Amino acid sequence: MGFNGFNVRKPRHRPHGDLIAVLDVGSSKVVCFIARIDEVGRPTVIGIGHQVSQGIKGGAVIDMEVAEQSIGTAVNAAEKLAGETIREVVLNLSGGHPTSQTMAVEVAISGHEVGEGDVRRAMRAHGHAHVPPDSEIVHAIPVDFAVDGARGIHDPRGMFGTTLSVDLHLVSAATGAVRNLMTCIGRCHLACETLVVSPYAAGLACLVEDEKQLGCAVLDLGGGTTSLAVFLEGRMVFSDCIPVGGNHVTSDIARGLSTPLAHAERLKTLFGSCTASIADDRETLHVPLVGEEEPARSTHVPKSLLTGIIQPRMEETLELVRGRLEASGFSKVAGRRVVLTGGGSQLQGVRELAQQVLDKQVRMGRPAPLRGLAEATAGPAFAVAVGLVGYAVEQPSEAALVGGQEEEVGVGFFSRLGGWLRDL
Ligand SMILES: Nc1ncnc2c1ncn2[C@@H]1O[C@H](COP(=O)(O)OP(=O)(O)OP(=O)(O)O)[C@@H](O)[C@H]1O
Ligand SMILES: [Mg+2]
pLDDT tens across 151-175, in order? 888 778 888 888 888 888 889 999 9
352-376 average pLDDT score: 94
pLDDT surpassing 70 at residue 97: yes
Contact present, 362 and 320 (Cβ < 8 Å): no
**Chain mean pLDDT for the chain:** 86
Q: Where in the sequence is the domain holding 412, given as residue range(s)?
A: 99-172+406-423
Average pLDDT over residues 54-76: 96
Give the residue with greater pLDDT, 192 vs 395. 192
Output 115 or 262, whichever has higher pLDDT.
Answer: 262
Antiparallel, parallel or unpaired: β 191-197 and 88-93: parallel
Q: Which of 35-49, 212-226, 375-389, 393-407 has the lowest mean pLDDT?
A: 393-407
Return the bridge partners of 24, or none: 31
Classified as helix, coil or strand, 420 is helix
pLDDT at 142: 83
User: What number of helices (H) and strands (E) belong to the chain?
Assistant: 11, 18
Q: What pLDDT band is residue 405 in, cutting at 50, 70 and 90?
A: very low
> Does residue 114 lie in a domain region?
yes
Which has the minimum average pLDDT: 78-87, 102-111, 227-236, 256-265? Answer: 102-111
Among 197, 136, 74, CA closest to 410: 136
* pLDDT at residue number 166: 84
Q: Which residues contact 244 (CB under 8 A, 6 or more apart)?
A: 224, 225, 226, 316, 317, 320
What Å distances lie between residue 350 and 210, 358, 359, CA to CA? Answer: 24, 12, 13
pLDDT of residue 423: 35
In this predicted structure, the answer to whether residue 404 has a pLDDT above a threshold of 50 is: no
Determine which residue's CA is closest to atom 6 belonging to ligand 1.
344
Is the pLDDT score of 277 beyond 90? no
Burial 68-106 (b: 16+ CB within 10 A, else e): bbbbbbbbebbbeebeeebeebbbbbbbbbbbbebeebe
Q: Is 397 in the pocket of ligand 1 (CB under 6 A)?
A: no
- The pLDDT of residue 409 is 32
- d(C-alpha 406, C-alpha 368), whole Å: 36
% of the chain with per-residue pLDDT over 90: 62
Given pLDDT bands bounded at 50, 70 and 90, which one contains residue 398?
low
More confident residue, 10 or 241: 241
CATH code (residue 419): 3.30.1490.110
Mean pLDDT calculated for residue range 53-65: 95
Question: Distance (Å, rounded) from C-alpha 350 to C-alpha 222?
Answer: 13
pLDDT at 128: 56
Assess whether pLDDT exceeds 60 at residue 419. Answer: no
pLDDT for 408 = 31
pLDDT score, position 80: 98
Over residues 323-341, mean pLDDT: 92
Cα-trace Rg, the chain: 22
For residue 381, tell me if it sits in a domain: no
Asked if residue 243 has its Cβ within 6 Å of ligand 1, the reply is no
pLDDT in tens, 192-217: 998 999 999 999 999 999 999 999 99
Q: How many CB atoms lie within 10 A of CB 228?
A: 27
Which residues fall within 8 angstroms of residue 266, CB to CB, at 6 or more apart? Answer: none
The confidence score (pLDDT) of residue 70 equals: 97
pTM, full prediction:
0.89
**For residue 159, what pLDDT is reported?**
86
DSSP string, 372-396: T--GGGSSGGGHHHHHHHHHHHH--
- Amino acid (1-letter code) at residue 420: W
| Residue 146 domain flag | yes
Residue 153 included in any domain: yes
Kindly state if the Cβ of 26 falls inside 6 Å of ligand 1.
yes
Which ligand is in closest contact with the Cα of 343?
1
Q: Which of 184, 250, 307, 346 to mutate to test the pocket of ligand 1 (most atoms within 8 A of CB)?
A: 346
Closest-CA residue, ligand 1 atom 21, reads: 26
pLDDT band at 418 (very low <50, low <70, confident <90, very high): very low
Residue 176 has pLDDT above 90, yes or no: yes
61 pLDDT more than 70 = yes
Domains contained in the chain, number? 1
> Does any domain span residue 342?
no
* Ligand 2: centre distance to CA 12 (Å): 28
Asked if the structure places residue 128 within a domain, the reply is yes
Residue 120 within any structural domain of the chain: yes
Residue 414 above 50 pLDDT?
A: no
Cα–Cα distances (Å) from 389 to 60, 92, 204, 293, in that order, read 21, 11, 9, 45
Residue 14 has pLDDT above 90, yes or no: no
Does the pLDDT at position 23 exceed 60? yes
- Residue 79 CA: distances (Å) to CA of 18, 30, 75, 382: 15, 14, 6, 18
Q: Whose CA is nearest to atom 20 of ligand 1?
A: 26
CB-CB neighbours of 276 under 10 Å: 15
Within-domain flag for 160? yes
pLDDT of residue 109: 85
Structure confidence at residue 2 as a pLDDT band (50, 70, 90): very low
State the sign of the Cα–Cα–Cα–Cα dihedral 397, 236, 171, 344.
negative
The closest ligand to the CA of 350 turns out to be: 1
Is any atom of ligand 1 closer than 6 Å to the C-beta of 223?
A: yes
